[in-house]
Amino acid sequence: MKTFLVTGGAGFIGSNFIHYMFGKYGEDIRIINVDKLTYAGNLENLKDVEELPNYTFVKADICDKEAIRKIFAENDIDRVIHFAAESHVDRSIVEPELFVKTNVLGTANMINCAKEAWENPDGTFKEGKRFLHVSTDEVYGSLPEDGGYFYETTPYAPHSPYSASKASSDMLVKAYMDTYHFPANITNCSNNYGPYQFPEKLIPLMINNALAGKKLPVYGDGKNVRDWLYVEDHCKAIDMVQEKGKLFETYNVGGHNEKQNIEIVRTIIDVLREELSDDDPRKEHVTYDLITYVEDRKGHDRRYAIAPDKIRADLGWEPDTMFREGIRKTIDWYFRHMDWMEHITSGSYEKYYEDMYSAKLS
């Protein structure tokens, strides 16, 4: 039985990954979820697994050396899947130092603790150990509107405090692989969407606002292009890399689903209108009239597009979910989990840890 240490497992992609892994491997793996539970970490994302005997939650900051050391000392960790990061560009523009602390210093602490636990006296590493650092396509900067793709060899050119902090963390992991032969991989992924995504991000924000009859804010002219990937397809890629990826390699993960932001918003409106019954009063106000153009974000990259050629050739990974199907699945999930969205937007989700775990921890 492999033991996985998943950082940031209460967040959007992390919680989806935990669901994916238990769905695939069941009782054959053990997962330890480490999350600080900042605003984007929500244990309600994992209510259906929290009682499993092979699942453990630890509330800890990845920057806390003693807390992370303790986890490694008390458990024989086979895999680290490192999601934990501050990830919202707008927040990074307002609080850049927070992103440096979590994304750079937190990653440094994680790889140092893993190295300390896994390194043999002769400088080699214990058999079968792997550290997978999950990163973003934003480290590569911006592409011209008329073509081109990000490859693993594309030079880094981050344009926001968020992408700069992720680029720095990538470089740390690369340096440890080169200097110590530290057993790691890096994945750089395009924009994810799907269940459990915090509603400050584009797709859940638009779904929530549209259903509430609120304006749908679109930056600039709305023609910024992103490559969108359904989160379960990303989880599948991460599992394939940790299981059979070539050590020390970087793998780009993208869905070949390039869409302008305004196209995303219009698709959400179209699908909502298809899904809402004619007697649902919300259908009347879910129209293009809600779209409102706002001042563009500072340093807003124009286009991202990932070339997943390497992960396809090496591991056979392909995305299974095309965009419109994924949007429909995402909207259906939110329809079935309106209580989750209500807790998120009201802030009451923050009480879940206290309500669920205070008795167990006292």
Marked catalytic residue, from 20, 140, 149, 162: 162
How far apart CA 99 and CA 163 sit, in angstroms, is 9
How far apart CA 134 and CA 158 sit, in angstroms, is 16
Q: What is the pLDDT of residue 297?
A: 78
For residue range 142-162, list pLDDT tens digits in order. Answer: 998 878 999 999 999 999 999
Q: What is the pLDDT of residue 361?
A: 42
For residue range 92-142, list pLDDT tens digits in order. Answer: 998 999 999 999 999 999 999 999 999 999 999 999 999 999 999 999 999
For residue range 304-329, list pLDDT tens digits in order. Answer: 899 999 999 999 999 999 888 998 99
Reply yes or no on whether 162 is catalytic: yes
Confidence of residue 355 (pLDDT cuts 50, 70, 90): low
Reply yes or no on whether 138 is catalytic: yes
How wide is the angle at C-alpha 124 spanned by C-alphas 118 and 125, nearest 5°?
Answer: 30
CATH number at residue 337: 3.40.50.720
Marked catalytic residue, from 35, 78, 86, 138: 138
Q: DSSP labels for 314-338?
A: HH-------HHHHHHHHHHHHHHTH
pTM: 0.91
For residue range 34-60, list pLDDT tens digits in order. Answer: 999 987 789 999 999 999 999 999 999
Domain encompassing residue 272: 2-361
Mean pLDDT of the region 248-276: 93
For residue range 265-310, list pLDDT tens digits in order. Answer: 999 999 999 999 999 999 999 999 999 998 887 878 789 899 999 9
Mean pLDDT of the region 3-11: 98
Reply yes or no on whether 86 is catalytic: no
How far apart CA 188 and CA 311 sit, in angstroms, is 11
Marked catalytic residue, from 137, 227, 239, 301: 137
Q: At 339, phi and psi to the nearest 5?
A: -65, -35
Domain count, the chain: 1
